[in-house]
Amino acid sequence: MIKKFFIVPILLFTLLNPLAAVAKPVIDEFENKSYNLSDIKRALILPIKIEESVSVPPSEAFFAESLAQHWDEIVANGALDALFVIKTPEQIVSADEFVKGAASSQPLSRDAILERAIELSPEYVDAIVSLTVTDAKYGVVSHDARTNWDVGIGVGWGGYYRHGGWGYGVFLPPPSTSPAWDQSFAIGAIKIEVREVKSKEHSLVYGLSVKDSVPGGALPYTPSLTKVVDALLDTAAAHLSKK
């Protein structure tokens, strides 16, 4: 007599390799209830600043220059025009020299122009807009070795002969092992501040911070810090354009 045997799996454990989730940048906002952002009509925009605590590796040789150029392009393309009329330090100093008829006898350095524009800002603008890179570094996450049961890949029915009869059952492929590995991350963060200039306190009217952690592959591959922070600038500009 031919008997049929069936193998019924009671419990299957499926362990998957860790996949890096592509998350959106984290955005945090502050709005001072004592002020109305729409009351600011003109603003002095400062050059991009990198906090002293940010230490960029030598492999990112033009980190500061690239970010400064990208931020200048964003401003020149009108990303902030919906909020207020933007004035550069050079425009403030030039306007003051024209109005007062007191041009400098010697060309001013960039730092001197910036310092002078900040001093003159209460006369020509309502606020100062600053952009600061607050974080830019690499991180590493260690992944343990894993045993992977690739259920659904190569699974099928098959016949077999046992104890004098034929039966049918599920055949699973053998498990595979993923070795331990280290994964790199590029971490970046920026903040934008809008401060009024009519009072001595220069109170914060509006603040925006954007941060992100972008996964790379197995070491030594890592994402570019320059590209990661560049993307944060674009995110911030897009967010501000909708205010």
SS (HEC) of the chain: CCCCCECCCCCCCCCCCCCCCCCCCEEEEEECCCCCHHHCCEEEECCCEECCCCCCCCCCCCHHHHHHHHHHHHHHCCCCCCCCEEECHHHHHHHHHHHHCCCCCCCCCHHHHHHHHHHHHHHHCCEEEEEEEEEEEEEEEEECCEEECCCCCCCEEEEEEECCEEEEEEECCCCEEECCEEEEEEEEEEEEEEEECCCCCCCEEEEEEEEEEEEEEECCCCCCHHHHHHHHHHHHHHHHCCC
- Structure-token match 């354009």, residue found: 241
What lies within 8 Å, CB to CB, of 126 at 6+ separation is 39, 40, 41, 42, 43, 84, 196, 197, 198
220 within a domain of the structure (yes/no):
yes
State the Cα–Cα distance between residues 205 and 56, nearest whole angstrom.
31
Question: pLDDT at position 205, please?
Answer: 97
122 within a domain of the structure (yes/no):
yes
Question: pLDDT at position 218, please?
Answer: 58
Total number of domains in the chain: 1
186 within a domain of the structure (yes/no):
no
Q: What is the mean pLDDT of each run of 10 residues along the chain (243 residues)?
A: 35 32 81 94 96 91 95 92 93 91 79 95 96 93 75 50 58 73 88 95 96 77 87 95 83
166 within a domain of the structure (yes/no):
no
Question: pLDDT at position 177, please?
Answer: 78
12 within a domain of the structure (yes/no):
no
173 within a domain of the structure (yes/no):
no
67 within a domain of the structure (yes/no):
yes
* Containing structural domain, residue 126: 26-138+191-240
171 within a domain of the structure (yes/no):
no
Q: Which of 26, 28, 30 is nearest to 204 (CA)?
A: 30
Torsion of the alpha carbons at 53, 59, 61 and 63, rounded to the nearest 10: -50
Question: pLDDT at position 166, please?
Answer: 61
State the Cα–Cα distance between residues 235 and 60, nearest whole angstrom.
21
Q: Is 98 left (phi over 0), alpha (psi -120 to 50) or beta?
A: alpha
State the Cα–Cα distance between residues 69 and 57, nearest whole angstrom.
20
State the Cα–Cα distance between residues 55 and 97, nearest whole angstrom.
39
